[in-house]
A and B are shown apart, each in its own frame.
Chain A
Amino acid sequence: MNGIMKRSGVQISFSSSKGSAQLSPVNRGLGSLFFLAFFLMGSLFEVFTIREFVVILRTYSWQQTPCRILSSEVVSNEGDYRFAVRYEYAVGSDTFVGEKFKRNFHDGDYDKQSGRVQQYPVGSPAVCFVNPANPSEAVLQRDSLLFGLVILFPLLFIGIGGIGIYAMWARIKPKPVETRPISDSSKGRRALIVFLSIFALVGLGMMWPLCVRPIYKVIDARNWIETPCRVLHAEVRSHDSDDGTTYSVDILYEYTADGKVWRSNRYDFLGSSSSGRSGKQAVVDQYRAMPRPVCFVNPANPAEAVLVRKPTAKLLICLFPWVFFLIGAGGIVGVLRSARRSKAAAWLPPVSDSGHAGVAGNMYWLNPSPENDFADDWVALPAAGRRIGKFFGWLFFAVFWNGITSVFVTIAVQSCRHGHPEWFMTVFLVPFVLIGLALILAACHQLLSLFNPYLIARIRPGRIPLGSSADLNWTFKGLPGRIGELKVVLTATEPIRSTSDDGDRKRQMSPSSKPVFECELACLTDPQQIASGQIRLSIPASAMHSFDSGNCRLTWAVSFRGDIRIWPNLKDDLPIVVVPPNLQELR
């Protein structure tokens, strides 16, 4: 037996090679159909998008050719406004007339089209791009190459569909266990990062049109000049689509700036359409009846004006790209953090080391300092920081949820006030509103619990070996007399989704944190004993030590549960660290 043998260090990683739970054939079939629809839709969209991008790329090889503008005007097209242009150009001895401004050019706001008329006045020279293979085909402007970013969007659907189908069938024909090394997981991590990057990029891509630009405009418009205007035409425009009919406000108005007369039909900065006709009709009626309407004109570009410059509820749509971005970016950070847990004994949660002064410190796991880990000295157990964190967590969630829900509630309320109730939307919103109220109650409950007596606890030693004992002492600050009864309980929990295991590795998940051990250490009713005390706790020798590998955890804690009259009860769980008895020698 010879050869070079290299010994490497300790590392930790994760493997995403877990298969799905066992599914019945019906569930597997239905699941596969669901994900197949995702996959096919995404693939189809991807093919169209790539084809379109290739066509756009080709226009970049078209010949730049001088031309002359023959006509240039804004024309109304079934309620929309279109830039109609004609230009003349010559290729060799032949003369052609082009009418195409861009390949992908849509009707839109009046002032946008008006701006193009200013850019290409009649009789002016310009440059067009001519297809050398077919000189009768030309455009005045080429489409932006940023369209290429759209290619990323269908990848989300393809990814969700593909991974879903794989998960449905992965267990049917499992690869032999021996051919899939558990210890080599970098491929899975890379694939996950690529998938999450697509989410983040889609979010970033939507950030400019849906978030940055509208907010910038709203801020910038505060300096726009209030100018009298005249309403030329006002109506509610209908937009039919597969999802039903949506409506938008279309008001064409005329104003004077810099000695010239301008026209615009921009109502606000988002300019989108939505369901609910009555609200838009009210706006239109209001402007029709208004004796002296005003608009706001951009002093830097008088062609640009808007009727409503204030931020409206529609601006909440700017949260939409953030959802994609945060899922993607947060997921990437999570994967990278998981990969960075390359430390010896990374399975053991570190002791919360905030010194020995008895002041509760940071709630989260800190890096262990070897001296303190094994020192036979008091270690503070933090408690209060968690309450504040919980309160802000609930508050943020309640504000976020109710902020989004309120947009739709406003629409529903307005529809009732205008005599055209949106019944379907109203009924649909009921569970969302109830959840919102529950979140507000939870945040209030957590706010009240901030004023509960404040617990300061210490334990000795900081790391408790299995089968041994530790001393725990505590003091309550802030009216501990309000606590009628205090129970001190030693618990061990697996704070992730619990499963039932029937021995055949079939797992059912539920979002609970099931205790694997619970032992009441004390039940106190004497106010003095509640206010401060000391007890000794013992850890069973046959138990499992504390464990935290990132995705799986077993957490030991001392739980203080106090009954308080007409107030949220006190429940502070103070994590403690239980270690194998010979950890120090075998490190």
Chain B
Amino acid sequence: MTALRWIAACLLLASLTAGTIADTRPAHAHLILGGYYVMAVDFHVHSFPLSWATLAPWDTVPEAGRQGLDAIAIVGHNHVWVSKAGRAFARMAGGPLVLTGEEIVSARYHLLAVGIDSTIDWRQPAARAIEQIHRQEGVAIAAHPLAQYWPAYDAQTRRALDGAEVLHPIAYGSGELAAQLRQFYNSAPLTAIGDSDYHGLGPIGLCRTYVFTREESQSGILDAVRRGRTVVYARAGRAYGDPALISLAAADGRLPRIASGAASGVSPAAGFLNAFSRVAGILGLTAAAVAGLVTTRSR
């Protein structure tokens, strides 16, 4: 059993060393297209605690930078205080930009309130929640608007929304759910949003929105969302959003290449170290679990 413990310790140490060496923030060039700053934004990021999320704000923010995001909205489930903690940390750490917000989780709808400072009560109809978001100068985005949530948004309420998630990881598991997101997006003049709904599984910004802003700030991003200046890339190069901006990006070529991951900026050496880290990590954890739990029995 002692030998197994040593093996576990060595594997975990090797895994941590390789993973930590490879844990760098890739070089990220700022893209300017047609006079706009093109910012990669994930508007639907959750942080520990109180939102079924695994990473605390001070871990979430650097991880977003590592995934090449320029800004994230940390949206607590029916609260904003973790989001404010994230914003304070991001200011100290020098980015990426954190937009404060809340995911209003009601029994009938889920609604992202981005750019707000005070918690909005979930015990009210979506239309009234949207009014309150706008009163705080935030933007209202329908979160994963699947068919079960459609009754909460009548035609007038849909027009009051600023945007809707047309791309969300939920779409990866089911063509039918992906179609529901597209149908809701097409049901009103809404800004296209792609979000990862990050709770800790997979990378932040797995689905993301490219926002065409006049300035690299919270107000610049919110203004762009209100004016519909976004592009979202789905798999197989399919794009949603402002047709003029999609054409502009296609003619330039850089943004679709970045979105496809072809320009991720991860070196082959870092890729190898990450691969080694994950294999050694899994083996080390398994050995540690076996050694740790069987120890008492052998005493």
A and B: bona fide binding partners: no
- B residues engaging A (CB < 8 A)? none
